[in-house]
Amino acid sequence: MKKIIAAAVAAAFVAPVYAADVTVSGDVEYFYKDTNAGEAFDSGDQDIKITGSETLSNGWSVSAALEMDGNEDGLVSDSVFTIDTGVVSISIGDAVDPAHQTYDEASDVAEQGGTGGEASTNTDPLHTLAVTLSPMENLLVTASRSTTNDDADTTTLSITAYAAQYSMSGFTLGYGVAEEQNQDTNVSTTSMSYGTGPFYIGYESISNEANVISDDITNLGVKYNYGMGNLFYEAGEAKDASAGTATETTAYGVSYNIGNLNSYILQNSVETSATATDNQTIIGVEYKF
């Protein structure tokens, strides 16, 4: 009898630990790059993510994720906590994107290289609180508030951002804007994409990158899924207004998948008006789990 009671008490304490569904995912990537300046092996994504989630008795869903990003210099840990009521989703953490970065990167199709990327503010946000809701079908609206340092730093700045995305019949249109404290210029991003069957095309335009007026980025990406991987092409331009220069990047190549193993080869060309063109050949392999 004592053993039965002891087992029941132990189960009462253990049960809550297993109430949530826990998953582990991640990826590891390495690539070889041959450039005008020489050759080198480098690492791409090296991530592992542990996520716990469950549906509460009132129908809300709650999740928490710990993300560990690694490279040659060490391991960085980020986290995100999310509550989704079905009408509104609230996320907080250092792995949460500010609103203006939520719906961009529509043209980022190349495995490596290319111009595509997130619209950045002058100072990188450290912690972000984001709220997303859908006021009508196919429409998502996100607002966020970020800080650039922790509460022990007297130079902490704030970033307020807003974004919206609308999708219909394969077309997706997104827009975002971010206002950083003590900056006179706002960063804005516009993205458009269309996908049908194996074909995808995406375009994005970033204005005042890093809060620098007239530092603008445009990028176009095209991708075709041939069944075992993708054929991709990406071309873009990044302007440096103060220097009066522009960097044009063109990336094209092919990827091949066997299960979760992805390999790729591509040609990446980087041409700056002030320097010679850097022609790069990149061969990589990535495993996702």
Segment 271-276 mean pLDDT: 78
pLDDT in tens, 76-105: 788 999 999 999 999 999 989 999 999 888
Domains defined for the chain, CATH in brackets: 23-288 (2.40.160.10)
Is the pLDDT at 69 greater than 50? The verdict is yes
Segment 164-193 mean pLDDT: 95
Of residues 124 and 205, the one with the higher pLDDT is: 205
pLDDT for the residue numbered 153: 56
Q: How far is CA 156 from CA 40, 94, 95, 125, in A?
A: 38, 15, 18, 10
pLDDT for the residue numbered 72: 61
Concatenating the DSSP letter of every residue in 63-125 gives EEEEEEEEETTEEEEEEEEEEE-SSEEEEEETTPPPGGGTS--TT--SSS-SS--PPPPSS--
Euclidean distance between CA atoms 188 and 252, whole angstroms: 27
Segment 163-174 mean pLDDT: 97
Q: Residue 41 in contact with residue 31, Cβ under 8 Å?
A: yes
DSSP tag of 153: -
Of residues 72 and 160, the one with the higher pLDDT is: 160
Confidence band for 15, pLDDT divided at 50, 70 and 90: very low
pLDDT for the residue numbered 10: 45
pLDDT for the residue numbered 18: 54
Euclidean distance between CA atoms 52 and 179, whole angstroms: 33
Mean pLDDT of the chain: 88
The pTM of the full predicted model, rounded to 2 decimals, is: 0.84
Segment 208-217 mean pLDDT: 93
Lowest mean pLDDT among 11-20, 54-63, 75-84, 215-224: 11-20
